[in-house]
Structure 1
Amino acid sequence: MGATLTFRSPVGRPLTIAIGGAGVLLVGYAAVVDGPVALWQAGPTAALVLALVWALFWAPQVQVADGGITVVNILRTAHVPWPEFTEAETRWSLQIKAADLAVTAWAVPASSGTGTRLTARRRRAAEEPLVAGRGATGPTGHGAEAAALAIADRHRALTEAGHLAGARRGVLPATIRWNHPQVVLLPATAALALASWLT
């Protein structure tokens, strides 16, 4: 039916790159000034900070695809197939509801009132309607409202095409799984940083 649309924080990836670059520069400078021992003193802490920023701002996202909605949060990922989907809410952030599950997307907060008004003014000035899912790249496409519109559009398109006709709930239930890279990386870098602080 359509391409997979990805929604994430517009500042998450630039922020992660900036902090990663700053960490490398600081650790490199410390190593030049204080010698190799500085790598052990500063390196694990820099790695922990980068791991936290990556888990909080780089990895989280929402994907809207023909197979359903996938919400990647900090530690867990939820997948809601279309037959299980019931509603998308945008009060504080994007919340996806299924028959037996409600999951809030960390990466897709609702726009502020000011941001919503400014976006509406820009659209009126350009006489251009908001296109759901313009999404992943457009200036109006990062918030919960844009993601919810994309979800509604995809659900409607799949329904009108007959792909959801006769689909029964419970056959493909919504699932939640742990994000193994984050679950391993965060405690490991925290333990390494603690060890460097204690020695």
Structure 2
Amino acid sequence: MTQPVVLRPRFGLILCILVWTIVAICIVSLIVLGDAGTALRYTPAFLLAAFLCWMLFWMPAVAVEASGVTLVNIARSVRISWPAIVSVDTKYSLTIRTRDAKYTAWAAPAPSRMSTMRATRTDLSHLPESSYAGGTVGLGDIPNSDSGLAALNIRRYWEQLQRDGHLDSRAVEGTGVKVTWHVWQLAVVGVLAVATLAGILI
């Protein structure tokens, strides 16, 4: 792998653009049609909606790179080194298990029932070997789903490392997991929430 693969929810950017457009129209309308005081009161609420939309639907991601897998979720990011990975599951969403815990990716939910009904046998063939645990493959592994595409990229690289002997020792530094909290994003939400509440109560 020469370049990291970053996967995000497919509908996330479209939804964010739609919400941001509505927010921009609302703020401009307040400024043009209303007074400065009204605009000042309600703008934080619109900005909070726009920021939360970004945090929920576009910021989350699954990054697959040479050093490991990073799950960027809403409140925190979890970086998992390759030797620490025990299994990859897609029953409800992409879930990576280590010796001590399991970590779920907000950005890679399992497909809806409608999507699985459209799946064919071909969709579930030629997948990485670890996809067929127990002789069967889950519908969450369908490559055209968010969970399936993320699992496909992770398993391919994970299995290649195993075949090349890079994971033979199974040596893990510490837990092999590093958690980073999204401090500034949560702080922005807190500030906008307080400003929104203040605007409503004024």
Length-normalised TM-score, structure 2 = 0.84
Secondary structure at the aligned position of 1:3 is classed as coil
Distance in 2 between the 1:87 and 1:131 partners?
15
| Aligned 8 A contact 1:77 1:176 in 2 | yes
Q: Which residue of 2 aligns with 1:146?
A: 149
Residues 140 and 85 of structure 1, relative CA distance in 2, 3 Å threshold: closer
Question: 1:75, CA displacement in angstroms?
Answer: 0.3
Distance in 2, Cα, partners of 1:162 & 1:9: 33
What secondary structure is seen at the aligned counterpart in 2 of 1:91?
coil
Distance in 1, matches of 2:145 and 2:6, equals: 9
User: Residue in 2 aligned with 1:28?
Assistant: 28
Percent of paired sites with the same residue: 28
1:85 maps to amino acid: I
Partner in structure 1 of residue 114 of structure 2: 114
Distance in 2 between residues matched to 1:89 and 1:140, nearest whole Å: 13
Once the two structures are TM-superposed, the CA of residue 111 in structure 1 deviates from its matched residue by 0.8
Structure 2 residue runs without a partner (length 5+) = 129-141
- Structure 1 counterpart SS, 2:62: strand
Between the two proteins, the alignment pairs up a number of residues equal to 189
Matches within 5 A, 1:36-185: 36-120=36-120, 140-171=143-174, 173-185=176-188
Give the CA deviation at 1:171: 4.6
Q: Note the C-alpha offset of 1:154.
A: 0.6
Q: Which amino acid aligns with 2:58?
A: W
Q: Report how far residue 148 of structure 1 moved.
A: 1.2
CA contact (8 A) 1:109 1:143 kept: yes
**8 A Cα contact 1:27 1:38, kept in partner:** no
Q: What is the root-mean-square deviation in Å for CA atoms of aligned residues?
A: 2.3
